[in-house]
Structure 1
Amino acid sequence: MRRTYQPAWSSVAILMICVLFSACRSAQTKKENLDGLKVETTLLGEFEDDYGARYTITKTLWHQQPGGIYHVDYWNSDDAFVILQNDETNGSNPGLWTRIDWTLLKDVEPYHWGFCLTVYDAPTSTEAAAAAAASRDTPMTGCNGFPFTRMKRLEPAQKRD
């Protein structure tokens, strides 16, 4: 007679504890990330791009004025990108996911960094993060065939109310 394996209740309980611990650890990692670990501080503040649009960027929000609002899911400073969820009130792709790649710029004053909306309509954050990175070594064409948007920091006297 052949015996079939029947897991003991203790094995099931241990498995459930592992699953719960893993879920809690994942949430904690995201919170730690948003609390300041590895967030690229060069990108935080108020900026104007080379087209005249204004931005306010915090650890948790990317606001392209007047109405483009993106909620930060996480920053990946090692690979120079941020994953954001498009606000439900945005005029295009509300609720979908965006990947923004950035690069630091040299010798193009007054601009210090540039960004590329690598993906702006991904159905999930995982798909946005998995998208191919923008080509930072060719910032004039590396953003899906277009240049990176160049950013300069606004000084207090330049900020609008």
Structure 2
Amino acid sequence: MFTKTNYSQDLSANYTMLSKQLDALLTGEKNVIANLSNASALLNQFFDQINWVGFYLMENNELVLGPFQGLPACVRIPLAKGVCGSAASTKETVIVPDVHAFPGHIACDAASQSEIVVPIVKDGVLLGVLDIDSPIKERFSEQDKEGLEQFIQVLIAHI
């Protein structure tokens, strides 16, 4: 496995490497919880300046807390509520530079200042979302969006 010290200054190349690491890590394992757990751990190792990374999974028409790295989190999020619910409802990635300016933001961790949420959609069905929070504003970029969407495509092949 690679560590942060193996990453270059090229963010796109780093995301490609991260996706390859994920694929190698998950190959041969079919358990969804194990794969999501390792994916969240890998992302936690990859990112700096974040305070939470994990998954919310669809269950009975709401998002329910799945594997994560960070402080205890909100357990259930209704669709269309908060950043996670918005991304789930639209099935589109949402980048929020300042969570305090986002209408209906759900504050699970008061330290969070910015957030990115990537929906997990397999064969047109919403399985859940990847949620990453940062204690600094404007932490996530379009490059992060593209890289994380690539990461999710690799993950989907293993869940």
Larger relative strand fraction: 1
Higher alpha-carbon Rg: 1
Higher relative contact order (CA 8 A, sep 6+): 2
Same fold (TM over 0.5): no
TM-score tier (shorter): 0.3 to 0.5
